[in-house]
Each structure stands twice: as C-alpha cells, then as structure tokens.
C-alpha cells in the first residue's frame, strides 16, 4: 500500500481481555517498529523486527505483550489480560534497512482499557 496501515484505529477493551493490533507496513520495508505513546508523551520503543526476525524486544513492558511478524510483512502486537495502564496509542513504523533511511508511521491504534 501507499503508507503504513494500522487496524483497528480504536479499540476499547475490558480489563483482562486479550487484544490484537495489526500493522501493514509499506511494501518492501524490511524494518518494522512498534511504539507505545501515552497521552502527552513521546513514542516509547517496544520492539523491532528486521524481516521476520525480532531483533530487539527490550521495550516490551511485560510478558503480557507479544509481537510477531511471521512472514516478514504484516505484524501483530498482542496484549494479553489487558490492564488500565496499557491504555495508549500504539504506533507502528516501517523503513528500509540501513543508514540513511527514515521511518514512516501509521495512524496508530488508540487502545482504551476500561
């Protein structure tokens, strides 16, 4: 597609519910990033993929968070047993790999846990 696409745009989950957030990167982009952006804050790094390999998951806040990119294209961020503190906008970005490349962002998924 023309840009990074994320779905759903909005998600309301009851506390304890599992959610899955989808990211369709720009075609051909090797790198894919997930970020969590709380209200009034900057994007906080969650995890990074290069093709299907998850090279860095140091930003995942707990073992309730899991991300995958099985075929090196679409990625899913899954949050199990959601808590209120998980409420945030989840951003996905993709880029070509290597120096000199910029990341392109999707619109984000706004997750509200009630």
Q: Which is nearer to other proteins, 30 or 80 (CB)?
A: 30
Contacts with other proteins by CB under 8 A lie at: 31, 33, 35, 40-45, 48, 50, 55-56, 91, 93, 97-108
* Contact by Cβ (8 Å): 23, 71: no
Q: Which is nearer to other proteins, 101 or 112 (CB)?
A: 101
Q: What is the Cα–Cα distance from 24 to 112, expressed in whole angstroms? A: 21
The least CB distance from residue 103 to other proteins, in Å, is 6
| Closest distance to other proteins from the beta carbon of 70 (Å) | 20
Q: Nearest distance from residue 18's CB to other proteins, in Å?
A: 26
Give the burial string for 23-50 (b: 16+ CB within 10 Å, else e): bbbbeebebbbbbbeeeeeebeebbbbe
Q: State which residue, 31 or 75, has the beta carbon closest to other proteins.
A: 31
CA angle 33, 20, 3 (to 5 degrees): 45
């Amino acid at each position: 597609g023309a840009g990074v696409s994320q779905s759903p745009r909005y998600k309301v989950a009851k506390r304890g519910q599992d959610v899955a957030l989808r990211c369709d990167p720009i075609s051909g982009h090797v790198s894919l990033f997930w970020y969590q952006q709380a209200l009034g804050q900057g994007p906080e790094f969650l995890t990074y993929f290069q093709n299907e390999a998850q090279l860095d998951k140091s930003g995942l806040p707990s073992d309730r968070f899991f991300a995958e990119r099985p075929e090196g294209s679409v990625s899913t961020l899954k949050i199990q047993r959601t808590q209120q503190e998980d409420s945030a906008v989840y951003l996905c970005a993709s880029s070509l790999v290597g120096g000199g490349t910029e990341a392109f962002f999707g619109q984000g998924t706004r997750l509200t846990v009630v």
